[in-house]
């Protein structure tokens, strides 16, 4: 894969050398979250010089996207990335707006930049619509324009006019990007609920494994360390088969309203229900000529997924409905020709009796992918799933996977766009890259321009219900809050899993901890939702994280701060700014603040402020100025960095900066007053 990265360098210092990381391993983004081998190969490094004086904005790139502002009739989003390459701050008083000019487009929602210090950058969304007679999906030249008091810049780029159809090709699907509702929703609840909840065992402590893998683990045989094999034999006996658990998957205490109410109380914006895991048991209705291994044809004879979707629509309509789906089935007889590794296909063998195990609900198919998997995926699409969250891939080989994935994705995207809905696919749906990456029980340590979503269970190491886990081992409210803050600061979403029991109840300690964290999340939501990562850095040490939007900058302390909280990072603060408390019992309280002689920001945090909150403490620097009109339903000020980050790069760019008075901007850190250069390190590399 080839990537393009832009990084901030402190322009107040003279560069003598640049040291790049020694990369030998990548993140856990392989099949099943497996760590991938990776090496860094540099093709080019570019430095962008600054302008000599004044406020000077330069457009680094402008590009059209195939996303639109939520709640509109497909007002298309154009992204414009601007840098302040001058020596003075851009402030709200400069009245900067960004528009797009073209015979094929009209700007209806200008982008805004209310503050940008020398050396910083902003990615701004502009809302446009096609001019009369311009065909959707056609292309042509457009110009991004920056205008303001003493500030102007422009750049031409090749634009796509309107929201066109996707084609069933790799390149077309690769250009798809995360929907704004997802980019800004930040927090979802994962639900692993299926037959595996009946045994509901994954061991404990250092021996714990995924409880939802119960069938696979015990069926691998009596090797020395197979504690699943021993537990299953001792608990259920040699002649008990996994499919015998189905009759005990009762859902008899399940109230889908209670679930969606819990998710809303938790502060989540979407949920991802497992519709079918590797055991092949589906929680939705499938035609009998495809399979009868479903919760409708078998116990409990209910379309559980549909009931959950209906409850969300009725009681918590703001929740976006999404589904996990496993194309491979461990022991489907017709998957044997495609099987690999831990997903072998073919009937299971009873490890105690050595007898072949029948596959309940099996219907022979000629082509596993075309006759089983794709029809199931289409049913989920027709049910209204807004994310198809695949796992493992399809398994029919790179070329066939790519064709199957692209064919499904094109129809899925186009059909929903026709209904005014924006939907997504993750990076595990076969031979297509998807809209976001999915590290499993892991997270990235730095900002990723491409959207990502960290998923893990409230259980220490299981997604499915594990009866062996003590209550005090579940993820605590503070851990939920701190994880969410950290992930969001690095352009990620947080998908937190619960594993309900076979009767449909969620473990009480999980409910309690979700609701406790939810109170904090709702109180401090402005620092989480509809925010973007900060270009300069996501964090300062282990204790501070940063987020921002068009109107404010947020400093989140992950531990109770000392009486004086000193921020050394070059945050966008000018003398005279009011720093206020976000959330808690003293929300809106002004915190005394000042710039120290070395340019650090010092906040004075009283005991009352510390005692008025818990889990994390958030402080806000307000910019003032114009509200961002591209927020729409849940759209953010700036982009998430989709797959098309390099398309439509600005060409023939021109910019001019007129020196602007600092006026009421007041005091700055001395080393930032006379910047001679903005240094943007652009690195192009690929990972093997």
pLDDT in tens, 486-513: 999 999 999 999 999 999 999 999 999 9
Half-sphere exposure of 404 (CA within 13 A, CB side): 26
Question: In this structure, what DSSP letter does residue 315 have?
Answer: H
At residue 48, the pLDDT reads 66
Please check the confidence at residue 103 and state whether its pLDDT lies above 80: yes
At residue 36, the pLDDT reads 59
d(CA 99, CA 93): 18
Q: Give the pLDDT band of residue 639 (cuts 50, 70, 90).
A: very low
At residue 604, the pLDDT reads 98
pLDDT in tens, 312-361: 999 999 999 999 999 999 999 999 999 999 999 999 999 999 999 999 99
At residue 54, the pLDDT reads 84
Please check the confidence at residue 14 and state whether its pLDDT lies above 80: no
Tell me which of 160-169, 254-263, 636-645 is least confident.
636-645
Would you give the end-to-end CA distance of the chain in angstroms? Answer: 7
At residue 270, the pLDDT reads 99
Q: Is beta strand 552-557 parallel, antiparallel or unpaired with respect to 544-548?
A: antiparallel
At residue 558, the pLDDT reads 98
- Is residue 293 a contact partner of residue 285, using CB atoms and an 8 Å limit? no
Helix (H, G, I), strand (E, B) or coil at 155: strand
Whole-number mean pLDDT of the chain? 89
Most confident stretch, 476-480, 533-537, 573-577: 476-480
pLDDT in tens, 148-173: 999 999 999 999 999 999 999 999 99
d(CA 290, CA 361): 9
At residue 18, the pLDDT reads 77
Q: Give the pLDDT band of residue 31 (cuts 50, 70, 90).
A: very low
- Is residue 452 a contact partner of residue 438, using CB atoms and an 8 Å limit? yes
Please give the share of the chain, as a percent, with pLDDT higher than 90: 79
Q: Between the CA of residue 498 and those of 262, 436, 632, what are the distances in Å?
A: 11, 21, 30
Two tokens at 669?
Answer: 């850190």
Please check the confidence at residue 635 and state whether its pLDDT lies above 50: no
Residue among 372, 391, 387, 373 at smallest CA distance from 326: 391
Residue among 293, 275, 497, 278 at smallest CA distance from 377: 275
Helix (H, G, I), strand (E, B) or coil at 392: coil
At residue 34, the pLDDT reads 53
Please check the confidence at residue 631 and state whether its pLDDT lies above 90: no
Which H or E element spans position 153?
strand 151-161
Tell me which of 2-16, 165-179, 241-255, 355-369 is least confident.
2-16
pLDDT in tens, 135-148: 999 999 999 999 99
Please check the confidence at residue 675 and state whether its pLDDT lies above 50: no
pLDDT in tens, 280-321: 999 999 999 999 999 999 999 999 999 999 999 999 999 999
Two tokens at 106?
Answer: 């009209």
Tell me which of 118-127, 329-338, 444-453, 618-627 is least confident.
618-627
Mean pLDDT for 45-50 is: 69
Mean pLDDT for 541-560 is: 98
Q: Give the pLDDT band of residue 76 (cuts 50, 70, 90).
A: very high
At residue 401, the pLDDT reads 82
pLDDT in tens, 551-568: 999 999 999 999 999 999
Mean pLDDT for 209-238 is: 96
Please check the confidence at residue 643 and state whether its pLDDT lies above 70: no
At residue 646, the pLDDT reads 31
Q: Is beta strand 544-548 parallel, antiparallel or unpaired with respect to 40-46?
A: unpaired
At residue 435, the pLDDT reads 98
- Is residue 518 a contact partner of residue 511, using CB atoms and an 8 Å limit? no
β-bridge mates for residue 144, sequence order:
100, 155
At residue 660, the pLDDT reads 30
- Is residue 155 a contact partner of residue 62, using CB atoms and an 8 Å limit? yes
Domains, the chain, in order of start with CATH, read 46-163+633-687 (2.60.40.10), 187-525 (3.20.20.80), 552-622 (2.60.40)
Q: Give the pLDDT band of residue 524 (cuts 50, 70, 90).
A: very high
Q: Give the pLDDT band of residue 402 (cuts 50, 70, 90).
A: confident
- Is residue 383 a contact partner of residue 284, using CB atoms and an 8 Å limit? yes
At residue 654, the pLDDT reads 34
Mean pLDDT for 222-229 is: 91
At residue 38, the pLDDT reads 64
Phi/psi for 215 (5° steps) reads -60, -50
Please check the confidence at residue 32 and state whether its pLDDT lies above 70: no
Helix (H, G, I), strand (E, B) or coil at 566: strand
At residue 345, the pLDDT reads 96
């Amino acid at each position: 894969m080839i990537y393009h990265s832009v990084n901030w360098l402190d322009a107040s210092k003279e560069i003598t050398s640049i040291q790049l990381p020694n990369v030998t391993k990548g993140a856990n983004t392989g099949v099943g979250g497996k760590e991938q081998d990776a090496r860094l190969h540099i093709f080019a490094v570019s430095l962008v010089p600054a302008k000599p004086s004044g406020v000077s904005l330069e457009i680094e790139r402008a590009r059209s996207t195939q996303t639109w502002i939520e709640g509109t009739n497909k007002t298309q989003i154009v992204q414009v990335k601007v840098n302040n390459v001058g020596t003075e701050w851009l402030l709200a008083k400069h009245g900067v707006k960004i528009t797009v000019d073209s015979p094929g487009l009209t700007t209806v929602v200008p982008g805004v930049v209310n503050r940008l210090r020398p050396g910083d950058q902003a990615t701004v969304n502009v809302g446009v619509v096609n001019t009369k007679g311009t065909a959707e999906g056609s292309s042509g030249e457009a110009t991004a324009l920056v205008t303001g008091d003493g500030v102007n810049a422009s750049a031409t780029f090749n634009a796509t006019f309107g929201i066109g159809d996707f084609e069933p090709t790799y390149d077309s699907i690769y250009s798809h990007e995360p929907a704004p509702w997802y980019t800004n929703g930040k927090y979802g609840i994962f639900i692993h609920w299926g037959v595996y909840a009946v045994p509901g065992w994954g061991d404990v402590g250092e021996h714990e494994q995924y409880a939802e893998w119960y069938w696979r683990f015990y069926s691998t045989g009596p090797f020395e360390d197979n504690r699943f094999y021993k537990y299953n034999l001792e608990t259920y006996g040699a002649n008990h088969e996994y499919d015998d658990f189905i009759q005990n998957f009762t859902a008899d205490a399940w109230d889908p309203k209670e679930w969606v109410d819990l998710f809303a109380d938790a502060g989540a914006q979407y949920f991802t229900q497992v519709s079918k895991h590797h055991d092949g048991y589906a929680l939705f209705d499938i035609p009998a000529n495809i399979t009868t291994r479903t919760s409708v044809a078998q116990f409990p004879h209910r379309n559980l997924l549909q009931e959950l979707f209906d409850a969300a629509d009725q009681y918590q309509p703001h929740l976006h409905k999404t589904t996990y789906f496993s194309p491979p089935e461990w022991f489907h007889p017709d998957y044997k020709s495609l099987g690999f590794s831990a997903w072998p296909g073919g009937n299971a063998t009873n490890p105690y009796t050595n007898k072949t195990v029948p596959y309940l609900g099996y219907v022979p198919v000629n082509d596993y992918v075309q006759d089983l998997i794709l029809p199931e995926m289409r049913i989920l699409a027709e049910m209204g799933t807004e994310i198809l969250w695949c796992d493992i891939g399809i398994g029919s080989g790179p070329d066939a996977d790519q064709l199957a994935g692209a064919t499904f994705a094109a129809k899925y995207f186009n059909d929903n766009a026709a209904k005014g809905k924006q939907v997504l696919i993750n990076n595990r749906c076969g031979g297509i890259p998807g809209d976001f990456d999915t590290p499993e029980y892991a997270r990235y340590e730095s900002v990723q321009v491409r959207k990502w979503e960290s998923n893990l269970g409230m259980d220490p190491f299981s997604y499915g219900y594990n009866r062996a886990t003590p209550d005090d081992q579940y993820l605590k409210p503070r851990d939920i809050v701190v994880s969410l803050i950290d992930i969001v600061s690095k352009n990620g979403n947080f998908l937190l899993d619960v594993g309900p029991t076979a009767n449909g109840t969620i473990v009480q300690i999980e409910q309690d901890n979700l609701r406790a964290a939810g109170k904090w999340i709702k109180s401090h939501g402005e620092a989480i939702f509809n925010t973007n990562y900060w270009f300069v850095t996501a964090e300062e040490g282990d204790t501070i994280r940063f987020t921002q939007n068009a109107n404010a900058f947020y400093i989140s302390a992950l531990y109770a701060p000392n009486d004086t909280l000193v921020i050394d990072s070059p945050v966008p603060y000018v003398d005279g700014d009011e720093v206020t408390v976000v959330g808690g019992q003293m929300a809106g309280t002004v915190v005394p603040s000042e710039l120290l002689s070395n340019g650090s920001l010092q906040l004075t945090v009283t005991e009352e402020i510390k005692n008025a909150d818990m889990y994390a403490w958030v402080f806000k620097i307000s910019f003032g100025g114009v509200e961002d009109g591209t927020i729409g339903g849940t759209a953010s000020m700036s982009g998430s960095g989709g797959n098309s980050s390099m398309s439509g790069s600005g060409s023939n760019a021109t910019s001019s900066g007129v020196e602007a008075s600092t006026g009421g901007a007041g005091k700055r850190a001395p080393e930032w007053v006379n910047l001679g250069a903005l240094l943007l390190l652009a690195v192009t590399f690929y990972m093997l």
